[in-house]
Amino acid sequence: MIRFKLKELISKKEFYDGKRITLKKIAEVTGINRMTLTKINTKVGYSTSTDTLNKLCDFFDCEISELVEYVSEDQMQKKTDKEE
């Protein structure tokens, strides 16, 4: 499964820029629909286009590996087991 690290990037940008970054602001700057950003931020397993990924990497000035990561089914199962 692909996991988006949008929350982490927002937090990092807020720290370095010294101001709050909202999904609304990201939507305004990138042209990405705010609902798409919400789904990326909250919905496990959400699928999005490479164009959206490109815009986010541009906004955060980051590599794709800083935005997304692959989590294997085994890792997901271990996480689920720990939570129970």
Using one digit for the tens of pLDDT, what is the confidence trace for 47-70?
999 999 999 999 999 999 999 999
> Phi/psi at 21 (nearest 5 deg)?
-115, 120
- The model's pLDDT over 11-30, given as tens digits with 9 standing for 90+, comes to 999 999 999 999 999 999 99
User: Model's pTM, two decimal places?
Assistant: 0.83
What tokens appear for 20 in the block?
Answer: 């709050």
CATH for 15:
1.10.260.40
**Domain span at 25:** 2-83
Pair 45, 1: CB distance under 8 Å = yes
Picking from 66, 68, 73, the residue whose alpha carbon sits closest to that of residue 49 is: 68
The CB-side HSE value for 26 (13 A sphere, CA atoms) comes to 29
